[in-house]
């Protein structure tokens, strides 16, 4: 318990830095051909996040799982009885949400995938961020693998994230202080296929394992308001293959689709993209898809 409390203190002090590394800084408006009022590039759009549990590996055969959830722009971490909150609106660095370039980035199944590595040292805390990310024009996802060292404690963490501009939940063009939140919307017409990629990490009973990447494909039944989502060609960095992962007939509601081990939503002005986080068959991570 004492170790968990110390980890909680360290995590509380590193959340903002970790989120920034994961691509969760406050974005500027992305370039687009969609008709709308002209706004200065410094105008910020509100983003929303989906977060999976935070998994902490103490390196001594013990995994600690903490609840990390987001409601709109407010995210809460609960660990060892302590709660830490983060308002995404407070992250106003002005940097773009969507990465422009990442070393080694490439296209996979219609979206971008790349590996982000960075080390930050601040106030005696050292964060080594080393994780794959997947992204399009309106959302970004990552398993957020980090090694954190502080106060004589060193541990590895995985914190799956999906962050972006949800379809319909805010006016896509609005001033920051004039953005009323409202429910998202389901796709009801147009192409019913989205393709992309997933990036995750194997989570065992005793330790965080190696990273995996794979293809992701989503098919929507627009009339029934359900989706099918499949991850295939899943391969670890060691080359080891994993079986496909699939969810079938998952209901859509207010632009989101949730099932056991799956939390996702549609992003963009008109459902151009989809993304979310998952936990299934010993793998946890995030995914990003673009409409075909």
3-state secondary structure (DSSP) of residue 266: strand
Please write the tens of the pLDDT for every residue from 109-131: 999 999 888 888 877 888 888 88
Please write the tens of the pLDDT for every residue from 67-99: 888 887 788 888 777 787 877 766 544 445 556
* 94 and 48 co-located in one domain: yes
**Position 223 in a domain:** yes
* 80 and 199 co-located in one domain: no
pLDDT above 90 covers a percentage of the chain that reads 42
Query: Taking a C-beta distance cutoff of 8 angstroms, is the pair 191, 292 a contact?
Result: yes
Please write the tens of the pLDDT for every residue from 147-199: 988 778 788 989 898 988 888 765 444 544 455 556 788 999 988 999 999 99
Work out the average pLDDT over 32-56: 55
Question: Could you give the CA distance from residue 145 to residue 73 in angstroms, rounded to a whole number?
Answer: 22
User: What pLDDT is recorded for position 149?
Assistant: 87
Q: What is the DSSP string of 196-250?
A: EEEEEEEE-SSSEEEEEEEEEEEEEETTTTEEEEEEEEEEETTS-EE--EEEEEE
3-state secondary structure (DSSP) of residue 177: helix
User: What pLDDT is recorded for position 43?
Assistant: 36
**Position 254 in a domain:** yes
Question: Could you give the CA distance from residue 129 to residue 277 in angstroms, rounded to a whole number?
Answer: 19
* Residue of 245 and 150 predicted with greater confidence: 245
* Residue of 241 and 24 predicted with greater confidence: 241
Question: Could you give the CA distance from residue 54 to residue 155 in angstroms, rounded to a whole number?
Answer: 12
The number of domains in the chain is 2
- Range from 135-144, 147-156, 210-219 carrying the lowest mean pLDDT: 147-156
**Position 187 in a domain:** no
3-state secondary structure (DSSP) of residue 87: strand
Q: Which of 284, 219, 232, 225 is nearest to 256 (CA)?
A: 225
pLDDT surpassing 60 at residue 65: yes
User: What pLDDT is recorded for position 108?
Assistant: 96
pLDDT band at residue 101, thresholds of 50, 70 and 90? low
The two tokens of residue 92 are 């106003």
Answer left, alpha or beta for residue 87, where phi above 0 means left and psi between -120 and 50 means alpha.
beta
In sequence order, what are the residues at sequence separation of 6 or more whose Cβ sits closer than 8 angstroms to the Cβ of residue 113? 105, 106, 107, 132, 133, 134, 197, 199, 213
**Position 221 in a domain:** yes
What does DSSP assign to residue 28? B
CA 97-101-103 angle, to 5 degrees, is: 125
* 173 and 221 co-located in one domain: no
* Residue of 216 and 137 predicted with greater confidence: 216
* 75 and 168 co-located in one domain: yes
Work out the average pLDDT over 252-263: 96
Structural domain for 241, as ranges: 193-291
* 216 and 161 co-located in one domain: no
* Residue of 283 and 73 predicted with greater confidence: 283
How many angstroms separate the Cα of 270 from the Cα of each of 19, 37, 136, 172, 186? 26, 17, 14, 10, 9
* 246 and 278 co-located in one domain: yes
pLDDT surpassing 60 at residue 18: no
pLDDT surpassing 60 at residue 45: no
Work out the average pLDDT over 263-271: 92
pLDDT band at residue 46, thresholds of 50, 70 and 90? low
pLDDT surpassing 50 at residue 41: no
Question: Could you give the CA distance from residue 112 to residue 7 in angstroms, rounded to a whole number?
Answer: 33
Mean pLDDT computed over every residue of the chain: 79
Among 151, 178, 205, the domain boundary falls at 178
* 170 and 197 co-located in one domain: no
User: What pLDDT is recorded for position 288?
Assistant: 97
pTM strictly above 0.75: yes
């Amino acid at each position: 318990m004492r170790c968990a409390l110390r980890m909680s203190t360290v995590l509380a002090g590193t959340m903002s830095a970790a989120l920034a590394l994961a691509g969760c800084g406050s974005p500027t408006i992305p370039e687009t051909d969609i008709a709308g009022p002209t706004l200065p590039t410094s105008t910020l759009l509100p983003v929303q996040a989906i977060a999976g549990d935070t998994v902490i590996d103490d390196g001594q055969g013990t995994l600690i799982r903490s609840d990390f959830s987001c409601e709109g722009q407010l995210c809460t971490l609960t660990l060892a009885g302590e709660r830490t909150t983060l308002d995404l609106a407070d992250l106003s660095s002005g940097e773009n949400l969507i990465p422009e370039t990442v070393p080694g980035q490439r296209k996979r199944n219609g979206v971008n995938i790349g590996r982000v590595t960075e080390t930050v040292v601040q106030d005696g805390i050292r964060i080594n961020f080393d994780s794959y990310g997947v992204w399009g024009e309106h959302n970004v996802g990552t398993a957020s693998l980090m090694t954190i060292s502080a106060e004589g404690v060193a541990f590895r963490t995985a914190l799956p994230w999906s962050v972006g501009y949800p379809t319909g939940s805010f006016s896509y063009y609005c001033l920051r202080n004039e953005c009323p939140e409202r429910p998202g919307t389901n796709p009801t017409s147009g192409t019913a296929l989205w393709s992309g990629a997933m990036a995750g990490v194997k989570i065992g009973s005793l330790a965080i394992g190696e990273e995996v990447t794979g293809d992701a494909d989503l098919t929507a039944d627009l009339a029934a308001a359900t989706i099918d989502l499949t991850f295939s060609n899943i391969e670890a960095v060691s080359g080891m293959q994993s079986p496909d992962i699939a969810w079938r007939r998952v209901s859509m509601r207010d632009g989101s689709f949730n099932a056991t081990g799956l939390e996702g939503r549609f992003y963009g002005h008109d459902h151009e993209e989809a993304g979310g986080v998952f936990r299934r068959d010993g793998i946890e991570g995030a995914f990003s898809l673009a409409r075909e």
